[in-house]
Amino acid sequence: MNTYKKPYVIAEIGCNHKGDINIAKELIKVAKIFCDADAVKFQKRNNKELLTEEQYNKPHPNPVNSYGDTYGAHREFLEFDVEQHRHLKLFCEDLGIDYATSVWDVTSAKEIATLHPKFIKIPSACNNNTKMLEWLCKNYKGELHISTGMTTKSEIDDLVSLFKSYHRNKDLVLYNCTSGYPVPFEDVCLLDINLLIEKYGSDVKHIGFSGHHLGIAVDVAAYTLGANIIERHYTLDRTWKGTDHAASLEPMGLRKLSRDLRAVHKALQFKSKDILPIEQVQRDKLKNKKD
């Protein structure tokens, strides 16, 4: 019997829609119909809350990727409002794929919570925002998924302790993650999945893996180590303008990842008997008979 949990594939669209709701819908449709993903995930930011006035009004650090004259204008261009997110969630429901969003601040958390998605994600950059985490623990009833990139082991301890204090740890999904775009293979540090499972596996709902590497081999390894939720950035074209496209999978890559994870899930079991029925045919035909 297979003791591995079924793989759950999240296509992280993030801001790869380039601020265009029609591109966002095309990404959803392709993720569901062509790639066989289980969920798509967007991002929600309140930029005035997140950025200082100086940061907001500075030029983008990499102007070739910018959608505005300032970093603030760039971020606003890529932002969907709550009604647009509601529209995207309904579009997902019609197609039969889960909708989710990463929230970067308290205002965004409150806004997305009104849509009652299956889960809300907290990115590595915001997993120490205690005010936001406490509000979500108290007011949002769905799963809370949190990445642990750029986070110390003691900070992860504090995070899990906070969820335990609100009796929400069984709704918590912790992701192994290295924050970088893209991440070289030697920095993926897959064996940290073992550490998360050993330390928190019985306390939280699932252990996941959020990858920013190239290719899809690493994700299959992450799954076999016990991370049943696999999240990858996803785009229609890796050459598009924007920071995340280069570290994203295109549709064929995501399709192959979904296929491979489901194949490995079927394969991860013990033989039910010494000689399987499929082998008996070959045994009868090929195996040397004893005198």
Is 104 a domain residue? yes
- For the segment 140-181, what is each residue's pLDDT rounded down to a tens digit? 999 999 999 999 999 999 999 999 999 999 999 999 999 988
Is 1 a domain residue? no
Cα separation, 24 vs 6, whole angstroms: 27
Percent of the chain with pLDDT over 90: 87
Structure tokens at 9: 């594939």
Task: Please report, for residues 219, 265, 271, 272, the alpha-carbon distance to residue 2 in angstroms, rounded to integers and kept in the order given.
Answer: 19, 8, 10, 11
Cβ partners under 8 Å of residue 264, min gap 6:
7, 220, 223, 224
Cα separation, 188 vs 218, whole angstroms: 9
Cα separation, 204 vs 32, whole angstroms: 28
98: domain CATH number? 3.20.20.70
Is 199 a domain residue? yes
- For the segment 220-233, what is each residue's pLDDT rounded down to a tens digit? 999 999 999 999 99
Cα separation, 231 vs 7, whole angstroms: 10
Structure tokens at 44: 């929600």
pLDDT of residue 288: 79
Percent of the chain with pLDDT over 70: 99
Please name which of 107, 155, 151, 152 lies closest in space to residue 132, comparing C-alpha atoms: 107
Task: Please report, for residues 18, 60, 158, the alpha-carbon distance to residue 65 in angstroms, rounded to integers and kept in the order given.
Answer: 11, 8, 36
pLDDT of residue 222: 98
Cβ partners under 8 Å of residue 47, min gap 6:
56, 72, 75, 76, 79
- Cα dihedral sign, 152-157-158-159: positive
Is 291 a domain residue? no
Q: Judge contact between 93 and 99, C-beta under 8 A.
A: yes
Mean pLDDT of 235-249: 86
| pTM, to two decimals | 0.95
Task: Please report, for residues 174, 177, 187, 189, 213, the alpha-carbon distance to residue 184 in angstroms, rounded to integers and kept in the order given.
Answer: 22, 12, 6, 10, 6
Is 169 a domain residue? yes
Please name which of 185, 162, 180 lies closest in space to residue 172, comparing C-alpha atoms: 162
Mean pLDDT of 237-242: 84
Domain range spanning residue 45?
8-286
- Of residues 289 and 157, the one with the higher pLDDT is 157
SS3 283: helix
77 has a pLDDT exceeding 70? yes
Structure tokens at 55: 């940061």
Query: Band of the pLDDT at 291, cuts 50, 70, 90?
Result: low
Mean pLDDT of 179-188: 93
Is 3 a domain residue? no
Q: Judge contact between 211 and 232, C-beta under 8 A.
A: yes
Cα separation, 16 vs 242, whole angstroms: 7
Is 21 a domain residue? yes
**Helix (H) / strand (E) containing 45:** none
Domain count, the chain: 1
pLDDT, averaged across the chain: 95
Mean pLDDT of 112-125: 98
Is 271 a domain residue? yes
